[in-house]
Chain A
Amino acid sequence: MIDARRLTKRYGSTVAVDGLSFEVRGGHVTGFLGPNGAGKSTTMRMMLGLDHPTEGSVLIDGTPYGRLKHPLRKVGALLDAKAVHGGRTARDHLLCLAQSNGIPSSRVNEVLALTGLTEVARRRVGGFSLGMSQRLGIAAALLGDPEILLFDEPVNGLDPEGILWIRTLMRNLAAEGRTVFVSSHLMSEMAQTADHLIVIGRGRLIADTGTREFISRSSQGYVRVRSPRLPDLARLLDGAVSGRAGDGTAAVTLHGDHLRVTGMTAAAVGEAAAGAGLALHELAEVAPSLEAAYMELTQSSTEYAGVTS
């Protein structure tokens, strides 16, 4: 189990991570989500003892990373796949890591086979493609057969085949009861991999919840409707939704050339328009998505929001 407590990192007057507290438990994939620059990588480096927190701490099963005797046997991490010495062969790279943690060299051959790198084990890693480097990084993470795994943006720049491979691997590792913590700024990716989400924005915790709950709680579907007489339709639907607004979520909002109606079904909107003799040019149900839920939550915390967004 990973336990982050009031984790804070300041660079001068910039606050990269701001009082972040969360727990990561075994047996499922926990997604660590946030826009670029939200502080995901900084948080992960602090979890692994590479960066020193300004305040707060992270404990791995009750111990700070830096005090683990053989850390690779407890925690495997892939931070940056290209962060290897290009002049070394894949085998030597893994061998020096294994030796430092008292891991038998036979395990090096095992993880090479597991990641499909046996054929290129004696090639210098400087010539590896991104996909091969990623596999090497994962081989290094799996070297100590650790119960906790951390991956920082593991699918970045990979081809569909590589993405599928990593996704399956992460799910299998979690199914074996391991703790899998994976960061990403790609919502769609997390929707397919993570069971649980920790969402941050500007270094602060925004949500810590199951993926399904996250979608249903923070975003709802709406009805998208267009009409040549948009103002009349808006007035009509306003009256209709205010009548049924029990939970306060029903609303009609204007978005450019169309209305977004929540709290009414598409059928009800169509019926109401027909009753008032208003022509409709478009009527569609828009289902809730993780993407929308995420955008909604992080919009206010996006560091460099484009002017058009």
Chain B
Amino acid sequence: MTDVLRSEWTKIRSVRSTVWTLLVAVVLMVGFGLLVAASTASLGENAGLGDSTMISLSGSAFASLAVATLGVLAVGGEYRTGMIRTTLLAVPGRLRMLAAKTAVVAAVAFAVSLAASFASFFGGQAVLGDKAARLGDPGVLRAVVGAALLITATGVFGLALGALIRHTPGAIVAVIGLVFVLPQMTSLLPGEWGDTVQRYFTTNAGSQITYTRVAEGQLGPWAGFAVYCTWIAVTLAAAAVLLRRRDA
């Protein structure tokens, strides 16, 4: 397995799209955090509401999309070029290959997003001045690490959808729909079942881990993140089953 992990690491570090998607993720994460923090600070005393930690992590959703693209490209790029056949000649154990790819994408995504998340937090708090939160305040450290976990999980979601759909543009549309568009549309659903769907839908559940306090009517931070991970695990399992069954 170490052989396959090394191989996948070489693959991901040797294409330019990795650098670009990660760079975009960091810029969106830190830039958006600073922007929202600056705009909040400029409201002065009137800005009594709001969670300072959440404000500085405002870029998580956009950074998630950039990292999801990284995940999609890690698999989709192989299908687009036909490289997948060369890969499977070298590693005929398809589940081993998928597991190694997932592990490498998750590790790279977590390392970069954790650094970006801390940078956004400290940068944002510096801009917010006297309203700044501290890392030791309740729930703050969990929220900052949680933002990195959310971004990483979304990267794996992208990879799973890439392996399932085997077509880069299709998988990118799917991931944007599932983590960005549809979660917002669920709030339009009527009645109690509508509320339930809204609560459990992908990033509506997953993003709870980036808030210091539990929002009313929503799942708790870890419960919400677990629900999001279940969505991803189911997608990845479906991709794994099809990967084994289909001709490459």
Contacts and interface: CB of A to CB of B under 8 A. Distances in A.
A68 B83 contact: no
Interface string A100-118: 1110000000000000000
Given A51-B247, A51-B248, A85 B81 contact: yes
Contacts of B87: 100
Contacts of A234: none
A268 interface: no
B212 to A, nearest CB: 41
Interface of B: 3-4, 6-8, 10-11, 14-17, 77-78, 81-83, 85-93, 245, 247-248
B50 to A, nearest CB: 42
Contacts of A84: 81-83, 86
A58 to B, nearest CB: 13
Nearest to B91: A100
A71 interface: yes
A49 interface: yes
Secondary structure type dominating chain B contacts: helix
A174 interface: no
A49 B81 contact: no
A77 B16 CA distance: 27
A71 B89 contact: yes
Q: How large is the interface on A (under 10, 10 to 19, 20 to 34, 35 or more residues)?
A: 20 to 34
B14 A99 contact: no
Query: Which 8 residue pairs spanning A and B have beta carbons closest together?
Result: A83-B82, A100-B7, A92-B14, A96-B10, A51-B247, A99-B7, A66-B92, A100-B90
Contacts, number: 87
Given A83-B86, A84-B82, 14 more contacts: A50-B85, A52-B247, A66-B92, A66-B93, A68-B92, A71-B92, A83-B81, A83-B85, A85-B77, A87-B15, A89-B14, A95-B14, A96-B7, A100-B90
Contacts of B245: 52
Contacts of A71: 89-90, 92
16 contacts: A51-B248, A71-B92, A72-B90, A75-B89, A83-B83, A83-B85, A84-B86, A85-B78, A88-B15, A92-B10, A93-B14, A96-B8, A97-B86, A99-B3, A100-B7, A140-B86
A100 B92 CA distance: 11
A142 to B, nearest CB: 13
Most chain B CB atoms below 10 A, which of A72, A85, A88, A97: A85
Contacts of B91: 100
